[in-house]
Amino acid sequence: MSEFTMDCHVTVLPPLPFGKGYTYCVPSNLRLVVGDFVTIPLGAQEVLGVVWNTKPDKVQPEKLRYIKTKFDVSPLPEVSRRFIEWVSNYNMVPKGAVLKMVISVPAALMPPKPLTVYSISKKLPVFRITSPRERVLGILEDDAPRTLKNIMREAGVGHSVIRGLLKAGVLVKLEHTPPPAFKNPDWRAKGPVLSEEQATIASELCDQVERATFAATVLEGVPGSGKTEVYLESICRALKYGKQALVLLPEIALSAQWLQRFEDRFGCAPALWHSDLTVVQRSTAWRAIASGEAKVIVGARSALFLPFTNLGVIIIDEEHDSSFKQEEGVIYNARDMAVVRANIGKIPIVLVSATPSLESIFNVRRGQYNHFKLTHRHAGALMPKVSVIDMRNEEVKSGNWLSPPLLDSLRQTFELEEQAMLYLNRRGYAPLTLCRTCGFRLQCSHCSTWLVEHRLLGRLQCHHCGYSARIPRECPECGSEDSLTACGPGVERIAEEVAGIFPDVSSRVITSDTVNGPTQAANLVCQMEAREIDLLIGTQMISKGYHFPYLTLVGVVDADLGLAGGDLRASERTYQLLYQVSGRAGRAARPGRVIVQTYMPDHPVIQAIGIGDREQFLSAEAFDREAGGMPPFGQLVGIIVSSKDEEAVERAVRSLNRFAPRDDNIKILGPAEAPLKLLRGRHRRRFLLKSGKNQNLQRKIRYWLSVAQVPRNVRVNVDIDPYSFL
């Protein structure tokens, strides 16, 4: 690797929303290589940057500025820099914005603080002996320095005792290098005995790791088939050869059972990466990953951008999950970008799901991805029996939402001392509050959406911007008292209904409002495994990965949610959610049942869930998508124009429309008001571009945006392969 020394000109890319780096001069006291982390003067500020491998621009000598300092960390690997370039080009975002995701914790670049420990002085002075002091000296006689906290705990003394011994010269304070933050998982530890079906697939995945070349594999398996145990074998093989492994989970905060399974398998916990970690925890993890100390990393989508030194395999668990798509800031799909990262790094990637996305199935059928299927549940457990309830034929009391067949099934389950789950993908108590007198609907003042009542909190909340307000006694429009009424059910309302019918049943509401971190998720698992909870009532959070042997009944309160609207993936996503949540029932020796309530029993999604014919559903869905030229058979790109100034948005849209590409191979829909025409106080308009797979839409959009006249106070976001059409 070439070194840059005194007076060399280099390009430095700062982690800011810039599309290019800037030219700087290397001072006499530094020797740099591409990838080094440095500080640079930028305007009146001093900012971070990375020495980039692009040719420096010519700068007039009087304007040339010097790099300030170099951080004592490993350079950003070449594969990471190439990945940043690719993500930037494909998703049409500045390179600096992508780099910011790599350096998301600037404190990680600073050296870790030394560990302060205490030891007995080599030359003991004359001092007064007391019982507490004697206990302190007793535990330090083994010549193993200890931290203040450990001495106080082991000796049962207070801080003043240690302070007195220091002052007397009996103890000395030392600074040690902190011990490794993460243990090495034991790849030699014996794992569970795999079935013949599991072992065959695991062997192939391990061979891919050994070959150390790119391979994308879809690992499909029915719920409870042991997909995790299979892909853990590929991680084990990567560890054997000294490589790192990355596992992306859609809900890292809800991964308590997964983490326990990993620790049981390898004897220690993996390194974690998610937003609930403190700055210190993330800094520690970042440094350990960059140095190669952390061997297995489990995280949310942003973990994909960490500076791995020797990555050997990537696992995307629940690869179909839409939460892998980031909708804010740098808009990207972590699943798709992970495939690119694996390709650049020449390593295998495993896409794991009980319901693989149509995009992944499309790549399987084109021969681009391998495909393995686990067709049987582990240990002989059977798939649950599914019953579809046509709610048009059921007599349900006004204000209630559970049908007699579902209530009967719940009653039988509780009598057998088994557990049940009710699924409704709607947070809060009710999705809409309106006035019975004048019909006024309570709406968010910052978004064009209704406020959701959260009765447990006594507040109305917007689920898009976070705005909340107390529930008023009077209608804000007509002033009528006690005229506001809740319309429709949320999970809190279902919990209220259940409590009235089954007062002795212990239930728990599970949403992102009630379980929002790993600790709470772990407590939930403990309570369920101890059978302290009889009934879970929750949103899609309860559909992913949980394994409770005594949970034998799943009730889907409203299977039709999500089927309406113009989202091209609405049917696929609803099928995936219903199939996944159904898979929570009967995962052990006790057989499972699923009750699906619907007003549309003839809808293809409900039919597929009822008869268990996934292949027929996928074929019909693929046929419709291909006929319409929709992904994965065609391309879509969303253009979102927004500003707090509505007139500025209109001017920008008119200019964009005037310069829009005129091409027979590209169809432009819009401009039109976005379904959420106001979001977080910003007025929004949308374009949607549609084309065949062979078109380079990014190149045409770049030119389009470069010639259109967009006011400075207007933001234009490009969404490649959009998932949300709001």
Tens digits of residue pLDDT in 438-479: 999 999 999 999 999 998 888 999 999 999 999 998 999 999
Do 660 and 688 share a domain, yes or no? yes
Count of alpha carbons within 13 Å of 579, Cβ hemisphere only? 27
Tens digits of residue pLDDT in 231-284: 999 999 999 999 999 999 988 766 888 998 999 999 999 999 998 899 999 999
Helix (H) or strand (E) holding 38: strand 37-42
| DSSP 8-class letter at 111 | P
pTM value surpassing 0.85: yes
Which CATH number covers residue 401? 3.40.50.300
Do 552 and 670 share a domain, yes or no? no
Distance CA 17, CA 15 (A): 7
Task: Give the end of a domain, one of 597, 622, 647.
Answer: 622
Please say whether the dihedral angle defined by the alpha carbons of residues 347, 348, 351 and 352, taken in this order, is positive or negative.
negative
Do 364 and 237 share a domain, yes or no? yes
Distances (CA, A) of 105 to 102, 122, 285: 8, 41, 10
Q: What is the pLDDT of residue 519?
A: 79
Cβ pair 557, 402 in contact under 8 A? yes
Task: Answer whether residue 627 is part of any domain.
Answer: no
Mean pLDDT of the chain: 92
- Rounded to an integer, the average pLDDT of 631-640 is 95
Task: Answer whether residue 184 is part of any domain.
Answer: no
Do 410 and 549 share a domain, yes or no? yes
Task: Answer whether residue 43 is part of any domain.
Answer: yes
- How buried is 549 (Cβ within 10 angstroms: 0-12 exposed, 13-18 middle, 19+ buried)? middle
Do 522 and 603 share a domain, yes or no? yes
Q: What is the pLDDT of residue 253?
A: 63
Whether pLDDT at 195 is above 90: yes
Task: Answer whether residue 230 is part of any domain.
Answer: yes
Whether pLDDT at 544 is above 80: no
Rounded percentage of the chain residues whose pLDDT exceeds 70: 99
What residues does 551 pair with on adjacent strands?
419
Task: Answer whether residue 446 is part of any domain.
Answer: yes
The residue length of the chain stands at 726
Do 513 and 593 share a domain, yes or no? yes
Cβ pair 511, 457 in contact under 8 A? no
Do 371 and 399 share a domain, yes or no? no
Tokens of 647: 């007139």
Q: How confident is the model at residue 398 (pLDDT cuts 50, 70, 90)?
A: confident
Map tokens 């929709």 to a residue. 630
Q: What is the pLDDT of residue 565?
A: 66
Whether pLDDT at 672 is above 90: yes
Do 638 and 702 share a domain, yes or no? yes
What residues contact residue 362 under an 8 Å CB cut-off, 6+ apart?
622, 632, 633
- Residue from 448, 406, 439, 557 nearest 492 by CA: 557
Task: Answer whether residue 183 is part of any domain.
Answer: no
Tens digits of residue pLDDT in 290-330: 999 999 999 999 999 999 999 999 999 999 999 999 998 99
Do 512 and 390 share a domain, yes or no? yes
Do 540 and 420 share a domain, yes or no? yes
Task: Answer whether residue 4 is part of any domain.
Answer: no
Whether pLDDT at 380 is above 80: no
Q: How confident is the model at residue 352 (pLDDT cuts 50, 70, 90)?
A: very high
Tokens of 288: 């350990």
Do 574 and 534 share a domain, yes or no? yes
- Residue from 233, 112, 100, 244 nearest 179 by CA: 112
Cβ pair 594, 386 in contact under 8 A? yes
What residues does 172 pair with on adjacent strands?
119
SS3 string of 314-340? EEEECCCCHHHEECCCCCEEHHHHHHH
How many domains, in total, are found in the chain? 6
CA 470 from chain centre, in angstroms, equals: 31
Tokens of 110: 């600073």
Task: Answer whether residue 523 is part of any domain.
Answer: yes
Question: Any idea of the CA torsion for 487, 488, 492, 496, to the nearest 10 degrees?
Answer: 80
Tokens of 4: 């840059």
What residues does 315 pair with on adjacent strands?
247, 350
Question: Which structural domain range is residue 160 located in?
Answer: 115-176
Q: Strand locations in 57-181, DSSP E?
A: 69-70, 115-120, 171-176
Q: How confident is the model at residue 517 (pLDDT cuts 50, 70, 90)?
A: confident
Which CATH number covers residue 48? 3.40.1440.60
Q: What is the pLDDT of residue 607?
A: 93
CA 18 from chain centre, in angstroms, equals: 26
Distances (CA, A) of 4 to 7, 15, 67, 686: 8, 21, 12, 47
Which CATH number covers residue 638? 3.30.70.600
- Rounded to an integer, the average pLDDT of 624-640 is 94
Rounded percentage of the chain residues whose pLDDT exceeds 90: 74
| DSSP 8-class letter at 146 | B
Do 498 and 591 share a domain, yes or no? yes
